[in-house]
Structure 1
């Protein structure tokens, strides 16, 4: 069947009152009464009521045979009706085309738990406008971060996700067969973006997939997620990296507030507020001292902040300054990678930071050690075999400039921004230790 009338979106129907239009969408709700048939049809812009008075016609039977979530095209006249809650208008149908009939009953409904909803994620997202809003927010957030990065002279790079060696310390890596040998999925573009700095690309920016083989079953971990990575050359200190990040976030959150603030307030009950800069900064040692005075880590043995500690220090900073963001700086050398630079006067700490937002870590960053001899020394102190990393280390033998950067989890930023309980909701198709499908 050749369809000649061009599609009109539900959000634009007000402009077509009195005219015949064609809309395409899904059957949202069926109310088939004795004298009247009401069908609510939903597209990605909204929902409209289709109203038909029973008349023993073929159209009546077609409407009677519809199922929820069937994909349909309806042609009809748009009329004003102040009684109708959906935009005070309705469509009086003239013809209906069932493009794809949905099976009944549906496998999920509004009471279904998250794990089962994830099994039917396409239906879950389609049926919930809040989920669709999330991806619109994600698009605006990414676009605005790119916009800021470009304005600051960043070059967007695409680094390999296949690595020949599992070389970066920290999280576990996924091993896979690669022809006649093994390869590993990149747990960060860290080494590659540093290579780009050594290649004379002054400021590097990337948004891409990151893989972590951590058997973590928390609300904030995923085995594959989208990372936002930045690396800046010729910096004077790690402060340059933190300043770049807080400005980038402020710019991006401002764009989200402008484009979606009202919709987010309505759908998620959350106010998107643009933070003031600079964000508060506090050293790890100071943070631990404050937390221990409040009873955290009574044995005084924790080197890092656990989730309870992160929430505690964020609450303290909010109380003291009114700020939802805080940079924790100067992490101990023992819990940071060998390539983080250390201050000349204290080799027990690193020139590194984590950024917390409302108690959740959303970023890790640092000034990198750019001197070849110091990198070898720091790797040796950690008992590392540097042979597999020679390609990486060669970058520092021929004039690599001082540099630093950051890695941010996009899903975590969205999770906090929209007040979600779990990162599963902030991801289209979640990957975790127990989930490789759909």
Structure 2
């Protein structure tokens, strides 16, 4: 049976069609029966004048959120608020009658909505919009990456040794020995560069065993990773990202700008390139702490971003020149400035969404920097071997897709930017 999406009913005025969706609202009066049926594209009013047929009883037996198919004639009725259309039913099929009462309603708090996420997303257009925007954003990222010569890779998420520092990783049993869930595809991206794959692109799961209970942290999230070979310096990496994000926001604005404004109350602005850049030293001057060496905390990121927006009108800003003390051992350090790194963070509306850097590709320097950080090189033998046989200069970035959506849509928490959130206290549903 072919169904017609609610959003396309105006193309079928006067015709008999079938729609399929959920009974969103019921007004079952003595003489008239009104049912608002909602599908993924919109909501339409089904209007039936009681006539003593089986249709009366079928509609009377509906419960809120029951899954139904309705066959009827599309009628143009300007009195109806929902687009001036209604459906005069000829047949109603209840595919699945919803139990009552529903476990969530408009008064349910955030954690309760997460317990019943499928009902939450089904019921709230703003929640469904998140995933429509996510689809558009990912498609635009891939379009840009492919056009820029990237090869899409799928790196392992099970590792024989803990990546990077060994902290913040989940340990799992693996045929009688220990394995770890990858907290980043970083080392594998670099292996791909050493393998002669010129530009690497990946969208995949990332796992962080951080006991963080903030609005922007998750223990499992989707990462967007890029690695570029033969770069001149870290500016090549930032140039790639800013052009990619300008392309993404242009696609989102074109596809969803009006809906985002209506449902989320925020405007999608396509950014001009290049994005503003400030050093970490300049950031601390903005915060009134010149000479500070610490990483920026969330309040500091918001304050710095607000100042940059005030000065430039730009919602993005790269923060560069991070101290080596707060960056991984594999970040390259500028010539003559061993205390700094060729790394950056990207802030969007005050939220850190990306970390990137030029990598250290010289084997001896890499081993020395690992030793300085107290990182044991034994478990990383396979990774380090990549740099012994002609690895080119390279750099890359890791972007949190949920954080991008959170900032773009003005969401209060990354929980709302994730279909089924995972955090320290949540493994269900």
TM-score by length of 1: 0.96
Q: Structure 1: which 5+ residue stretches go unaligned?
A: none
Q: Tell me, in whole angstroms, the C-alpha distance in 2 between the residues paired with 1:170 and 1:308.
A: 28
Question: Which of 355, 359, 377 in structure 2 is aligned with 1:368?
Answer: 359
Is contact 2:194–2:387 with CA below 8 Å preserved after alignment? yes
Using the TM superposition, give the Cα deviation of residue 316 of structure 1 relative to its aligned residue in structure 2, in angstroms: 1.2
Match runs of 1:395-406 below 5 Å: 395-406=386-397
Distance (Å, rounded) in 2 between the aligned partners of 1:196 and 1:327? 26
Whole-angstrom distance in 1 between the partners of 2:16 and 2:299: 59
Q: Which residue of 2 aligns with 1:417?
A: 408
Cα displacement (A) at 1:92: 1.0
- Whether contact under 8 Å (1:167, 1:388) holds in the other structure is no
Is 1:20 aligned to residue 24 of structure 2? no
CA distance in 2, matches of 1:308, 1:18: 58
Tell me if structure 2 keeps the 8 A contact 1:28–1:68: yes
How far off is 1:234 after superposition?
0.2
Specify the SS of the correspondent of 1:292: coil
Question: Which moved further from structure 2: 360-369 or 88-97?
Answer: 88-97
Deviation at 1:171, TM superposition (A): 5.0
1:394-413 CA deviation, whole Å, 9 max, x = no partner? 00000000000000000000
Q: Quick one: distance in 2 between partners of 1:291 and 1:19?
A: 65
- How many angstroms does 1:257 deviate by? 0.3
Q: Is contact 1:47-1:86 (8 Å) kept?
A: yes
Query: How far does the alpha carbon of each residue in 1:264-308 deviate from its partner, in whole angstroms, 9 at most, with x for none?
Result: 111111110001111111111111122125xxx9xx766110111
* Counterpart pick for 1:125 among 117, 121, 124: 121
Distance in 1 (CA, whole Å) between partners of 2:268 and 2:202 is 25
**2:257 pairs with one of 240, 256, 261:** 261
Q: For residue 294 of structure 2, what is the aligned residue in structure 1? A: 303
Q: Does 1:231 align with 2:227?
A: yes
* Whole-angstrom distance in 2 between the partners of 1:301 and 1:369: 25
Cα distance between partner residues in 2 of 1:162 and 1:398: 26
Give the distance between the partners of 1:13 and 1:62, measured in 2 at CA. Answer: 23
Tell me how far 1:330 sits from its aligned partner: 1.0
For 1:219, the equivalent position in structure 2 comes to 215
Of residues 378, 384, 390 in structure 2, which corresponds to 1:393? Answer: 384
Cα displacement (A) at 1:103? 0.2
Over the aligned positions, Cα root-mean-square deviation in angstroms equals 1.1
Corresponding residue for residue 91 of structure 2: 95
Moved over 4 A (4+): none
The Cα offsets for residues 172-197 of structure 1, whole Å up to 9 and x where unpaired, read as: 10000000100000000000000000
1:7-406 alignment runs, 5 A limit: 7-169=3-165, 172-292=168-288, 303-406=294-397
> How far did residue 167 of structure 1 move?
2.9
Unaligned runs of 5+ in 2: none
Contact 2:163 2:182 in 1 (8 A): no
User: Could you tell me whether the CA contact under 8 Å between 1:171 and 1:187 is conserved in 2?
Assistant: no
Deviates more, 1:245-254 or 1:78-87: 78-87
Alpha-carbon distance in 1 for matches of 2:293, 2:339: 15
After TM superposition, the score normalised by the length of structure 2 is: 0.98
